[in-house]
Amino acid sequence: MAIHLSNVLFFPITNSLHQSKQSSSSLHFSTSNRHFRGFRLFSTRRTQRQRQSIYEVASRTRDTSSIITDLEKQTKGDEHTETKSAAAEIADSWREIHGSNDWTGLLDPMNDLLRSEIIRYGEMAQSCYDAFDYDPFSKYCGSCRFSRNKFFEQLGMESGGYEVTRYLYATSNINLPNFFKKSRWPKVWSKNANWIGYVAVSNDAKSKLLGRRDIAIAWRGTVTRLEWIVDLMDFLKPVAAAKIPCPNLAVKAESGFLALYTDKDEGCGYSKLSAREQIVTEVKRLVERFAGEEMSITITGHSLGSALAVLSGFDVAEMGVNRLENGRVVPVSVFSFSGPRVGNFSFKERLQELGVKVLRVVNVHDVVPKTPGFLFNESVPTAVMKFAEELPWSYSHVGVELKLDHKISPFLKDTNDPVCAHNLEAHLHLLDGYHGKGRRFVLTSGRDPALVNKACDFLKDHYLVPPNWRQDENKGMIRNKDGRWIQPDRSKFDDHPEDIHYHLKQLGLTFDS
């Protein structure tokens, strides 16, 4: 009998060795992988009791597939009721979920609705990794593997209810060699650009469920290598010097982040506009388009993408792109994963003044959130930080921090591997089982733990999930009509919308065609 991989994960084969390892923890395992297909926002107590009963039965049998079928039948009606209730709840409480009260009372114990929303935006950040072409032997290396209008469909995320409205590009002519990827072939899609994310907007049906039109921005970060940290110039630069119109010259951000966000290559069709110009013009266009509706702007990113998420949230608010003609302000929130410090203490204060809400999800064993600013950071008394603000290595984290610990998950190896500790899928797994400080780790949403090993070697070996298992079939090679193996051509990438000039002019930004 064939047993699905996810079944093995959730109901390991019973034997004396495995029982001895697991009997002390009495774990509750979820039973289905709803990743990329949406998942329930929360579970009722009744459904949790049903699951517990099924799990106990599962521990005494090898026939797991029939148990899963029984569980799905039992909970199908409950899931329909729960989804409707959860949809109503998020429509009523989305402002609190997005930080209007700085997530007070929602993190410990962990609010189920907040957890599901953080995971949902985390999966948007993860989609940037899943869609990126890393292969140096591909002529499309450094680009997105999918066309914009089929982005979520190709990733199996079409039920998420969002439509990509714009791809984001950055020039690779800056000193971040471990972030940018380039093809080894002479004939490539672009010599000087890399795809770094996208802007999406919720469709009508999803907007009705969310209680507002959500403009989402997802930034690509670094998935396996951490060498990009040493690429940073590690000194602070006034954001105003990067042409972000901040009135306070004391507000500074890390120069490498600013360069990635604001630099452009006018000789390249994709990066002739900076990532900054692409973001603010697209957000302005969407805010004007949906001006008659309730709206939110939600930005997410992992690792280096987290720094770009914070910077772009700052920029959108500082530029007033989120302010409508009638004076109404569209709230801006950032869900950051494994992010480094971005700016100094004045940057933190200015971000608070602008009303940008930031929730930073970190693994306490991850080195990246501890950089830059080893000596002078938010842990130092405020008076000292103000005194040291002129130093080029004085940094402060922004927003609210949610600390996770991979060593409390019974699924993960007790390792000090920095790549594992930094992995985004691991963070989403930890979120799925986190219920508050000192509380037992219990998975809730049905995300498959096998996803953790997609790009690392973090799951315990007895779950039989190979490390770094995600790869394209035949590395993207296909057979043509003559039976030869070739790299298929991809449709032409979008560069910049036709109305980009209008929005640049409205924002006071210049454009040289």
User: In angstroms, rounded to a whole number, what is the distance separating the alpha carbons of residues 10 and 30?
Assistant: 6
Strand partners, 214: 296
User: In angstroms, rounded to a whole number, what is the distance separating the alpha carbons of residues 355 and 342?
Assistant: 17
User: In angstroms, rounded to a whole number, what is the distance separating the alpha carbons of residues 303 and 307?
Assistant: 7
Name residue, tokens 């029984």. 70
Strands in 295-302's sheet, in edge-to-edge order, are: 162-171, 193-202, 213-219, 295-302, 332-337, 357-363, 400-404
Tokens of 200: 């999406």
Residues 6+ apart with CB under 8 A from 35: 123, 447, 448, 451
User: In angstroms, rounded to a whole number, what is the distance separating the alpha carbons of residues 351 and 244?
Assistant: 13
Which residues carry out catalysis? 303, 366, 422
User: In angstroms, rounded to a whole number, what is the distance separating the alpha carbons of residues 512 and 293?
Assistant: 34
CA dihedral 467, 472, 475, 479 (to 10 degrees): 150
Tokens of 111: 């609010």
Name residue, tokens 């690779």. 172
Tokens of 276: 């900054």
User: In angstroms, rounded to a whole number, what is the distance separating the alpha carbons of residues 64 and 472?
Assistant: 29
Return the amino acid letter for 369. Answer: P
User: In angstroms, rounded to a whole number, what is the distance separating the alpha carbons of residues 125 and 127?
Assistant: 5
DSSP per-residue letters across 180-211: ----SSSS-S-SSEEEEEEEEEE-HHHHHHHT
